[in-house]
Amino acid sequence: MSIYSPPADWFKAPSGPERLWVGLALIWCIVMFIAMPYWHFYGKQNSTGEAYAVEPMTFMQRTMQFADAHKIREESGVPVAEVPPGGDAYLLARMWSFYPVLQLRLGQTYRLHISSLDLQHGFSLQPLNMNFQILPGYDHVLTVTPTSTGVFPIVCNEFCGIGHHTMTGRIVVVE
Ligand code: CUA
């Protein structure tokens, strides 16, 4: 029989090792809960919380204009845009690429606008492991100050269809 009533006194309070493990799990839950607000203030890797409503097509046009105006070269058919220090950078996510490649300078601060043309994507900057959502209809502005040079891959970490695993981009930081 799949349906039957358990005896009325079925519950046995945890004891011995079970009690210990439930206790450890509870303590860890509390630590992680406290870590969230702590990291919000001291993590230095958080969103500014600044976002604007934008039509996906409008954001794409802005990104295209930005890429055309600041293009310094191409890498595998994708323009590399050198962002003016202190300026606004645009990054468009779409199935299944990031556009364009951004080139930033060490120690300069930029406003990075991210949005999606189609559906939800993820912005995961490696190897720093900074993660943000990219949503169509929202221009999410991040403040970015590179602290080291190199090529930083961007990986989409929200499942977005059959080409999800191929969806990567780059931010290049130079002296
Ligand atoms: Cu875009 Cu996964």
Position 17 scores a pLDDT of 94
Q: What is the mean pLDDT of residues 108-132?
A: 93
Q: Is the pLDDT of residue 53 over 70?
A: yes
The pLDDT-based confidence of 94 (bands split at 50, 70, 90) is very high
Distance 158 CA to ligand 1 centre (A): 5
pLDDT-wise least confident of 41-45, 60-64, 75-79, 139-143 = 41-45
Q: Does residue 142 contact residue 48 with C-beta atoms inside 8 Å?
A: yes
Q: Is 135 in the pocket of ligand 1 (CB under 6 A)?
A: no
169 lines ligand 1 (CB under 6 A): no
For 144-170, the pLDDT digits (tens) are: 999 999 999 999 999 999 999 999 999
From 3-12, 85-94, 112-121, the region with the lowest mean pLDDT: 3-12
- Beta carbon of 141 within 6 Å of any ligand 1 atom: no
Cα(161) to centroid(ligand 1), Å: 7
β-bridge partners, 115: 92
Give the residue whose CA is nearest to atom 1 of ligand 1. 121
CATH architecture of 50-174: Sandwich (2.60)
Stated pTM of the model:
0.78
- Atom of ligand 1 minimally distant from the CA of 165: 2
Say how many C-beta atoms besides its own lie within 10 A of residue 118's C-beta: 13
- Contact partners, residue 107, CB within 8 Å, separation at least 6: 145, 146, 147
More confident residue, 130 or 17: 17
